Structure 1
Amino acid sequence: MKTLVLIAAAGRGRRFGGDKRRARLGDGTLLMATHARAGQCFADVRVILRADDRPAELGLPDQGVLVSRRADQGLGASLSDGFAALLAEPEPAPVAAVWLGDMPWVDPATVSALLAEAGPGRIVRPTLDGAPGFPVLFGRDFWPALAANTESDGARAVIRRHRPALVEIPVSDPGVLRDVDRPADLTDADI
């Protein structure tokens, strides 16, 4: 089944104190590390950026970039813009994973487990000790709701409205919860 990943990377990183996408991690930056990890799991990698971003300056290829003109309205608006762009494509994939740009530690084996349960009429997400994590896989049936989403907190409202379609996969991978909110979150970051 054809799938793609949509990396949400249009935030301002206010809690971080600057553009965390450019924070050094390994041989590159946080966003480059997340993009590389997502690329290990998906052949088709898309990144949602702000209108004023230049992909090359973020260490990204121009290919696969989706622009959110409403990024300052929150994650929900960025995802809405991203899914609207996906819906406009001539042959949309049946499943898209939402992956946050500050989460490079997700184990590829976790993604494989999620993909095994994915389908056009399902929402699949990992849980670690009962806590919901990322990436979250949305079947094509939910893309119109995501494109129309006006909530600022990402896709939570869409998931709540479609709870019967939600499949939660318990995993032991701490990478599904580990993100970067402050510079200290990068101190022991091995990828």
Structure 2
Amino acid sequence: MPKVIALMLAAGRGSRFGSDKRVALMVDGRSLLAASVERAQQVFSQVHVLLRAEDDPQTLGLAADCQVIRCAEADQGMGHSLAAGIRGLAGQDAEAIAVMLGDMPWVSAHSLQQLCDQATPERIVYPLCEGRRGHPVLFGRAFWPQLLNLTGDQGARELLQAHAAVCHPIVLDDAGVLRDVDRPEALLAR
């Protein structure tokens, strides 16, 4: 049984980017989404990618054997997407799930491993860098039922606040846990 499995959220519209940022090319020629998934695969034995119902994984640069979960309600917000992802993973045996974002390819594999090492079924683990909470957030299995009930665009913020006593921040010196891609110029920054 894997201790932690990854759920890569990639069903959003990314409207601030101006086009489908998932297919935007990194300086090395990979799509942004493919680069994010490949980083996760360096640490997690299972990486599941949440996509919109109409998405073609190969057009997004993903391998043919990529494990995909579909979300028909993605336009209703991140809460709906996260709930759909948890529903899609309901039969998986794991102690925790790492909720990752498809536009964050710069989180180091070492940081991901450090977060996984602290995961337990009864704990919420997340990185802190420069005093700010980053991604991914790892939810112990005890919190999966609550994730199933998320709606809207708030994601799991309220869940983190409600369970502050079992939140376990890990201080990391990795700006990749804070760095996402909202605009095209972010792809060029080193």
Q: Give TM-score, length-normalised by structure 2.
A: 0.94
Runs of 4+ in 1 over 2 A off after TM superposition: none
Deviations, residues 123-145 of structure 1 (Å, cap 9, x unaligned): 00001121000111111000110
Contact (CA 8 Å) 1:96, 1:138: kept in 2 or not?
yes
1:151 Cα offset (Å): 3.8
C-alpha distance in 2, partners of 1:124/1:53?
30
Contact (CA 8 Å) 2:125, 2:168: kept in 1 or not?
yes
Equivalent of residue 44 in structure 1, options 46, 65, 78: 46
The residue number in structure 1 matching 2:70 is 67
Contact (CA 8 Å) 1:10, 1:71: kept in 2 or not?
yes
1:2 Cα offset (Å): 2.5
Equivalent of residue 82 in structure 1, options 65, 85, 92: 85
Greater percentage in helix? 1
Q: How many positions carry a matched residue from both structures?
A: 187
Q: Which moved more, 1:94-103 or 1:108-117?
A: 108-117
* 2:124 partner letter: I
Evaluate the alpha carbon distance shift between residue 59 and residue 96 of structure 1 in structure 2; reply closer, same or farther with a 3 A threshold. same
Contact (CA 8 Å) 1:13, 1:20: kept in 2 or not?
yes
1:164 Cα offset (Å): 1.1
Contact (CA 8 Å) 2:23, 2:32: kept in 1 or not?
yes
The residue number in structure 2 matching 1:139 is 140
Deviations, residues 57-76 of structure 1 (Å, cap 9, x unaligned): 11213541001111001111
C-alpha distance in 1, partners of 2:17/2:104?
14
The residue number in structure 1 matching 2:168 is 167
C-alpha distance in 2, partners of 1:178/1:23?
16
C-alpha distance in 2, partners of 1:19/1:77?
20
Q: Give TM-score, length-normalised by structure 1.
A: 0.94
Gaps of 5+ in 2: none
Percent identity between the aligned chains?
Answer: 47
